[in-house]
């Protein structure tokens, strides 16, 4: 059983205080803020975080196909200028040329790198063999499975022998079995040093995948994207998902991912940065019922797998639950509060009243409600709200307004009249 690859103190990559803003003038949006990160030779590092937290942006900056707005990126101690010749990215779905065979798709990467024709052929064949695709050299992309196509993508990235292999959610478009197979094969190539790659940086939003593969997990949060925590994972390889030690690590990472997401209701102002989580209150009702069935206490990792919910979908629901005071997150566990229990056990009518009272404490909802109340007809055009929301939420204003309306409707506080383009107070 190979040990976790020891990381050396040799610094390959240093990202220092990197900021990245998109857009211009008044419509600027911070994608990542003040990110610093070092990757040593021999390390397999995972960047983990919810979608939109800037993982891909960071990867593109590291590969030099996008540039930071400020801060610096050093490769082997030298400032990176332009495309990073030592790094290659494998994307979620690798675009293969449909008119070229598997072999030709790999060869073309070598051609772009200036490898002479004869050597190209030989190297491509060897790579295809390494990655376990021999026998499929002359197949066309449409003739092979998604998992095999992604393997060709890996082979193509490895063909240029990058020192730093960057992977952007490389398994997330695959079915469960193909993904697991390919993960295992990559780990084997990496640990057996079958590829000259010195370090791997993989983006994922899958906690178990990160714990399975990484020597170190860098947890990111969003709005704007920033680093929340770094957790070393020292378990030996191959790692077993079922082992207690593995599950303990998974829980720790869950705790890190959820720990910083607690939003104090009073801090959630219309002119504050905090937003309503993008969750439906119906889903929250479901979560609270599930918690009641689990004796008011569950493990977030288990919950995510039982509900077959991706972390990205689960977290906003949990956040909504925290915001209204129905649930609490502690150390990767989810707890039902006494208020949450009351809600879970109440009938539909009592639930509506309870949730209405709770969300009216949120400044955003409260402001909409009061604005409508102050109006003679208790109706105000949607555009008015959007304008106000834009001051706080920029290009996310419309989504935020959608969420606020869906919450208002759920609690029967206010709703949207599509014909008139107005929000109105419900009785
Ligand atoms: P992740 O990979 O973690 O899902 P991304 O790096 O793709 O996140 O995006 C981070 C944020 O930056 C998101 O809010 C996204 O909408 C924004 N963003 C990404 N690329 C661009 C772009 N080219 N132009 C404008 N905004 C972008
Ligand atoms: Mg991404």
Note the pLDDT tens digit of each residue in 23-68: 876 678 899 999 999 999 999 999 999 888 999 999 999 999 999 9
Structural domain includes residue 3: no
User: In which order are the strands placed within the sheet that holds 422-425?
Assistant: 379-381, 422-425, 414-417
Q: Please tell me the distance from the alpha carbon of residue 49 to that of residue 297, in angstroms, as a whole number.
A: 24
Structural domain includes residue 2: no
Q: Are residues 386 and 240 in the same domain?
A: no
Q: Are residues 201 and 66 in the same domain?
A: yes
Total domains in the fold of the chain: 2
Structural domain includes residue 273: no
Name the residue range of residue 62's domain: 11-259
Which ligand has an atom closest to residue 32 CA?
Answer: 1
Q: Whose CA is nearest to atom 27 of ligand 1?
A: 22
Q: Are residues 301 and 241 in the same domain?
A: no
How far does the centroid of ligand 2 lie from the alpha carbon of residue 368, in Å? Answer: 33
Q: Are residues 354 and 411 in the same domain?
A: yes
Q: Are residues 64 and 114 in the same domain?
A: yes
Of the residues 203, 224, 259, which one is the last residue of a structural domain?
A: 259
Non-local CB neighbours of 311 within 8 Å, separated by 6+ positions:
50, 205, 206, 207, 257, 304
Q: Are residues 37 and 74 in the same domain?
A: yes
CATH number at residue 373: 1.10.10
Structural domain includes residue 4: no
Assign 3-state DSSP to the chain and report helix, strand, coil percentages, each to 5. 45, 20, 35
Spans in the chain with pLDDT lower than 70: 1-7, 25-26, 259-274
Q: Are residues 298 and 244 in the same domain?
A: no
Structural domain includes residue 271: no
Residue 90 pairs with which residues in a beta bridge? 167
End-to-end CA distance of the chain: 67
- Among 32, 48, 52, the mutation site with the greatest number of ligand 1 atoms within 8 A of its Cβ is 52
Instruction: Report the pLDDT value the prediction gives residue 242, as an integer from 0 to 100.
Output: 86
Q: Are residues 63 and 178 in the same domain?
A: yes
Q: Are residues 101 and 171 in the same domain?
A: yes
How far does the centroid of ligand 2 lie from the alpha carbon of residue 54, in Å? Answer: 7
Structural domain includes residue 290: yes
Residues within 5 A (CB) of ion ligand 2: 56
Which ligand has an atom closest to residue 226 CA?
Answer: 1
How far does the centroid of ligand 2 lie from the alpha carbon of residue 310, in Å? Answer: 15
Non-local CB neighbours of 116 within 8 Å, separated by 6+ positions:
none
- Among 15, 31, 310, 396, the mutation site with the greatest number of ligand 1 atoms within 8 A of its Cβ is 31
Instruction: Check whether the bond before 184 is cis (ω within 30° of 0).
Output: no
Q: Is 51 in the pocket of ligand 1 (CB under 6 A)?
A: yes
Instruction: Report the pLDDT value the prediction gives residue 267, as an integer from 0 to 100.
Output: 39
Q: Are residues 47 and 103 in the same domain?
A: yes
Q: Are residues 99 and 138 in the same domain?
A: yes
CATH number at residue 250: 3.40.50.300
Q: Are residues 253 and 285 in the same domain?
A: no
Structural domain includes residue 205: yes
Structural domain includes residue 103: yes
Task: Confirm if 425 and 373 have CB atoms less than 8 A apart.
Answer: yes
């Amino acid at each position: 059983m190979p040990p976790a690859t020891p990381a050396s103190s040799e610094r390959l990559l240093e990202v220092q205080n990197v900021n990245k803003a998109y857009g211009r003038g008044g419509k600027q949006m911070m994608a990542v803020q003040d990110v610093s990160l070092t990757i040593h030779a021999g390390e397999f590092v995972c960047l983990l975080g919810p979608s939109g937290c800037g993982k891909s942006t960071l990867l593109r900056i590291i590969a030099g196909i996008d540039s930071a707005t400020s801060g610096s990126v050093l490769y082997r101690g030298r400032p990176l200028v332009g495309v990073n010749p030592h790094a290659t990215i494998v994307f979620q779905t690798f675009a293969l040329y449909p008119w070229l065979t598997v072999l030709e798709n790999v060869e073309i990467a070598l051609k772009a790198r200036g490898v002479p024709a004869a050597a190209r052929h030989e190297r491509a064949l060897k790579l295809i063999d390494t990655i376990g695709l021999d026998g499929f050299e002359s197949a066309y992309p449409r003739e092979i499975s998604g998992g095999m196509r992604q393997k060709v993508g890996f082979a193509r990235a490895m063909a240029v022998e990058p020192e730093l292999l960057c992977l952007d959610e490389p398994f997330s478009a695959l079915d469960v079995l193909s993904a697991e197979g390919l993960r295992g094969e990559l780990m084997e190539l990496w640990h057996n040093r079958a590829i000259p790659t010195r370090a791997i940086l993989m983006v994922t939003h899958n906690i178990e995948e990160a714990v399975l593969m990484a020597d170190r997990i860098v947890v990111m949060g969003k709005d704007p994207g920033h680093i929340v925590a770094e957790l070393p994972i020292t378990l030996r390889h191959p790692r077993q998902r079922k082992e207690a030690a593995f599950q303990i690590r998974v829980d720790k990472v869950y705790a890190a991912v959820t720990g910083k997401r607690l939003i104090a209701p009073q801090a959630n102002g219309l002119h504050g940065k905090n937003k309503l989580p993008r969750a439906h209150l119906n889903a929250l009702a479901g979560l609270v019922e599930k918690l009641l069935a689990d004796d008011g206490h569950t493990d977030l990792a288990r919950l995510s797998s039982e509900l077959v919910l991706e972390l990205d979908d689960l977290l906003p629901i949990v956040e909504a639950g925290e915001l209204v005071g129905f649930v609490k997150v502690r150390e990767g566990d989810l707890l039902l509060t006494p208020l949450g229990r009351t809600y879970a056990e109440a009938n539909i009518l009592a639930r509506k009243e309870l949730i209405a009272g709770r969300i009216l404490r949120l400044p955003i909802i409260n402001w909409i409600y009061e604005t409508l109340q102050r109006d003679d007809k208790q109706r105000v055009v949607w555009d008015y709200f959007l304008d106000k929301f834009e001051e706080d939420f920029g290009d996310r204003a419309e989504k935020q307004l959608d969420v606020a309306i869906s919450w208002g409707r759920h609690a029967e506080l206010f709703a949207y009249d599509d014909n008139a383009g107005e929000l109105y107070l419900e009785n």
